[in-house]
Amino acid sequence: MDLFQKCWDYTPAKQTMAMGVYPFFHMLTSGQDTEVLMEGRRTLMFGSNNYLGLTSDPRVKEAAIKAVEKYGSGCSGSRFLNGTLDIHVELEAALAKFLQKEDCLIFSTGFQTNLSIISAITGRNDYILSDSLNHASIVDGTRLSFAKTLKFRHNDMLELERLLARCAEDGKGGILVVSDGVFSMEGEICNLPEIVRLSQKYGARILLDDAHSIGVLGERGRGTAEYFGLTDEVDLIMNTFSKTLASLGGCVVGDEAVIHFIKHTARPFIFSASIPPAQVAAAHEALRILEAEPERVRRLNTIASHMRQGLAKLSHVRVHDSGNHIVPIIPLLTGTVGRTLVTAKELLENGVYVNPVFPPAVPGDNCLLRTSYTATHTDEQLNEALEIIGRVFEGLADNKDIDFVIDI
Give the per-residue SS3 of the chain: CCCCHHHHHCCHHHHHHHHCCCCCCCCECCCCCCEEEECCEEEEECCCCCCCCCCCCHHHHHHHHHHHHHHCCCCCCECCCCCCCHHHHHHHHHHHHHCCCCEEEEECCHHHHHHHHHHHHCCCCCEEEEECCCCHHHHHHHHHCCCEEEEECCCCHHHHHHHHHHHHHHCCCCEEEEEECECCCCCCECCHHHHHHHHHHHCCEEEEECCCCCCCCCCCCCCHHHHHCCHHHCCEEEEECCCCCCCCCEEEEECHHHHHHHHHHCHHHHCCECCCHHHHHHHHHHHHHHHHCCHHHHHHHHHHHHHHHHHHCCCCCEECCCCCCCCCEEEEEEECHHHHHHHHHHHHHCCEECEEECCCCCCCCCEEEEEECCCCCCHHHHHHHHHHHHHHHHHHCCCHHHCCCCCC
**Which sequence positions are flagged as catalytic?**
184, 212, 243
* Sequence-ordered list of residues with C-beta below 8 angstroms from that of 371, at least 6 positions apart, any chain: 46, 47, 307, 311, 329, 330, 331, 332, 354, 355
Give dist(CA 17, CA 337) in Å, integer: 14
